[in-house]
Structure 1
């Protein structure tokens, strides 16, 4: 009788490489936009011959689609279907809806929820401002966590060594006002830890100041809520009111979490 061979690590890893390439392709187009087969091959360092079959398969399954010329590839409708299913099924976002509605009603400004993903924060939910002048942003947008109030609020809940790991030595400016010195960013996050909320002024969007607090639905907190306000509307004690509203909501969420843990 011939014994069956145990699959080697290389054999097991073989199919994963194809899956990784498919995911890399989705990430690349999501981050840097559509491209032709040649452009995507260059951007991803994948041979054109290997990429051709991958593009054909993903287009047939709806993950990708082409422009009218059939030569430029972009994300397909199935990417939206899966993204929507993620948002609908996420338990934190389900719990955050009432919190977002409360803050949006009180402030009448743009409200975001974001989640830490590596050194970035991704917008996972949004409530629009009632005012015509508002911050232009979208669910799914990814920004460096250390340059946003959302990311800074989350990092402020972490031990100092973890903060150091998430703030790079070299920081690329998103706007002329972005803080690009690592020590200065860490000092800002330290202050957020002391005060319980984080602030970012025109560092990710010109003309807008954002205030953020961590949402302690879990420990450690990986989600945060922010209010984005055009600086022109921050007068007459409005900034203090927004901060007080956020701190009140944060305290309420913390109590809810602690009570749920006791049960």
Structure 2
């Protein structure tokens, strides 16, 4: 463990603990597998730039503790059952998710389409809740999935809660497309986010999933809001005013939640 000395006003010194290298590597390993998928010891060593010899003991320990597991060949490492236990405990204890659950139920019943809940994590969003569409043709996006905030309707709505300079910092100069229709120009994306601030919602069409249009709003559960709600529907079903109905329903829910928050603040 790295330890640094700092001097306090009295002239005495105190020890300040810095990063623990082994702990950081363990967390980096979990993040890497969660984001980019399983791998062999050699593949993970290359992806993380960690010497294979150093990685061996870490993989063994994390496998024994259930954070990782191997495939039937014993050579490919993937997330273990303990990762699920911890993530489930997080979702169970999350106050926003408990408040959003009835809202997702209401929105799913009103639209009959896929409803997603997500939280901003830097320049990405992580999906924390979902309600499936009643239709066989639907958008498949698992809870725990991490996507760029600046390329999704929900994420753009949440970014619109931030000051303009912070938005500009979080949108990269070079945007990797998720689909052939992803907007990759930084100025164009920032203009879309500006419009989301003005309109209270945002729409993206086939930018994160081909054939699907998404409608997103931020949720007023914090200042600035870090959670957002979206409805995702196949474009083929958005006929006869259904798109306007989805937007109106989202804005109505957002307005109602904002009113509740304001009344709570007054009390």
TM norm. shorter chain > 0.5: yes
Please give the secondary structure, in 2, of the residue aligned with 1:23.
helix
The partner residue of 1:97 within 92, 96, 101 is 101
Give the C-alpha shift of residue 11 in structure 1: 8.4
Residue 4 of structure 1 corresponds to none
Q: CA deviation at 1:218?
A: 0.9
| Distance of 1:85 and 1:68 partners within structure 2 | 28
Distance 1:135 1:179 in 2: 20
Partner of 1:68: 72
In the other structure, the counterpart of 1:12 is 17
1:212 aligns with 2:198: no
CA distance 1:68–1:11, shift in 2 (3 Å): farther
User: Normalising by structure 2, what TM-score?
Assistant: 0.93
Equivalence for 2:49? 45
Residue 113 of structure 2, aligned match among 93, 109, 115: 109
CA–CA distance in structure 2, aligned partners of residues 12 and 156 of structure 1 = 37
1:208–1:230: 8 Å Cα contact kept in structure 2?
Answer: yes
**In structure 2, which of residues 61, 80, 88 is the aligned counterpart of residue 84 of structure 1?**
88
Measured in 2, the distance between the counterparts of 1:139 and 1:259 equals 32
2:38 is aligned to: 34
Equivalent residue for 1:24, pick from 18, 21, 28:
28
CA distance, structure 1, for counterparts of residue 51 and residue 176 of structure 2: 31
Give the TM-score, by structure 1 length. Answer: 0.95
Aligned to 2:18, the other structure's residue is in SS state helix
User: Could you give the per-residue CA deviations for residues 149-185 of structure 1, whole angstroms, max 9, x where no partner exists?
Assistant: 1111011122111110111110111111100111111
User: Which deviates the most, 154-163 or 206-215?
Assistant: 154-163
Task: Call closer, same or farther: CA 1:59–1:11 in 2, change over 3 Å.
Answer: farther
Structure 1 CA distance for aligned equivalents of residues 123 and 17 of structure 2: 30
The CA RMSD over aligned residues, in Å, is 1.3
Structure 1 residue runs without a partner (length 5+) = 1-6
On the 8 A contact 1:177/1:203 being kept in 2, the answer is: yes
Residue 157 in 1 paired to residue 161 in 2? yes
Q: Number of paired residues?
A: 256
The gaps in structure 2 that reach 5 residues or longer are: 6-14
CA distance in 1 between counterparts of 2:175 and 2:16 reads 40
Contact 1:218 1:257 in 2 (8 A): no
Per the alignment, residue 193 of structure 1 pairs with 197
Contact 1:150 1:212 (8 Å CA) reproduced:
yes
- Residue 48 of structure 1 and its aligned partner are, at CA, apart by 1.4
